[in-house]
């Protein structure tokens, strides 16, 4: 599983995904080091509009598109009212992110909590990284780099809040997977043990926290 193509697990990834993820990590590193000009230059290489278009047209439908290609019907589940209590608290969220190396378990995209993203935006200038209230007014980098927590077995399918059932994920993978199980999507479950180590990114996140 270590050699699986990241993000092909859920949906075809944007062809410049890896390049832009590297721009993002370099930009955060420069910002943490106080080199704002280089941070802005790196972030400016990310085509936010193109990335947002990919999210809106491809990534957010990853699970349901895959189900359609497999010619399967979605499993009927009783309606579940989602509530905040069913999401992990901030301590557990951090624990999951640290365990998963601050990167998406499903596509390996580097992740920051929204509060950390906002700190980064204040360092590079919010003009470069607009985050409006609606998804359509958000820079595309948001969908790949804001941290979310996914229930691997969805809550609606009986999944729990035990750490083994929680994965750090980017917004794109979380919404793309929707309420499907990996079994329903005929995919192997990406395990925490096989998750790629990313020491330099982890260090950058820790340094950002320390500012
Ligand atoms: Zn992802």
Give me ligand 1 centre to Cα 128, in Å. Answer: 22
Q: What is the mean pLDDT, run by run of 10 residues, along the chain of 211 residues?
A: 51 83 97 98 96 88 78 68 68 96 94 98 96 91 96 89 94 90 88 90 98 96
Q: How many CB atoms lie within 10 A of CB 21?
A: 24
CA 49/CA 43 separation, integer angstroms: 13
Give me ligand 1 centre to Cα 7, in Å. Answer: 6
Give me ligand 1 centre to Cα 3, in Å. Answer: 16
Give me ligand 1 centre to Cα 121, in Å. Answer: 21
Give me ligand 1 centre to Cα 176, in Å. Answer: 9
Q: Which pTM does this prediction carry?
A: 0.89
Q: What is the pLDDT of residue 26?
A: 98
Q: What is the pLDDT of residue 63?
A: 82
Location of structure tokens 């598109």: 65
Q: What is the pLDDT of residue 82?
A: 53
Give me ligand 1 centre to Cα 192, in Å. Answer: 14
Domain boundaries, the chain: 47-73+86-201
- For residue 54, report the phi and psi dihedrals to the nearest 5 degrees: -60, -45
Mean pLDDT, all residues of the chain: 88
Give me ligand 1 centre to Cα 174, in Å. Answer: 7
User: What is the gyration radius of the CA atoms in the chain, in angstroms?
Assistant: 17
């Amino acid at each position: 599983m270590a050699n699986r193509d990241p993000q092909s697990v859920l949906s075809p990834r944007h062809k410049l995904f890896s390049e832009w993820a590297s721009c993002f990590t370099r930009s955060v590193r420069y910002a943490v080091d106080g080199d704002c000009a280089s941070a802005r230059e790196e972030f400016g290489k990310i085509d936010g509009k193109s990335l947002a278009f990919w999210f809106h047209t491809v990534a957010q439908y990853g699970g349901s598109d895959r189900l359609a290609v497999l010619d399967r019907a979605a499993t009927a589940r009783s309606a579940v009212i989602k509530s905040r209590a069913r999401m992990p608290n901030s301590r557990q969220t951090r624990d999951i992110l640290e365990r998963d190396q601050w990167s998406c378990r499903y596509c390996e995209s580097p992740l920051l909590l929204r509060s950390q993203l906002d700190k980064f935006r204040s360092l590079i200038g919010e003009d470069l990284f607009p985050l409006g209230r609606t998804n359509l007014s958000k820079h595309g980098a948001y969908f790949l780099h804001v941290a979310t927590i996914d229930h691997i077995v969805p809550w609606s399918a009986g999944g729990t809040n035990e750490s083994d059932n929680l994965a750090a994920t980017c917004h794109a993978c979380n919404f793309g997977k929707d309420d499907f199980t990996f079994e329903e999507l005929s995919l192997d479950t990406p395990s925490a043990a096989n998750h790629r180590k990313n020491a330099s990114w982890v260090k950058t996140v820790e340094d950002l926290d320390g500012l």
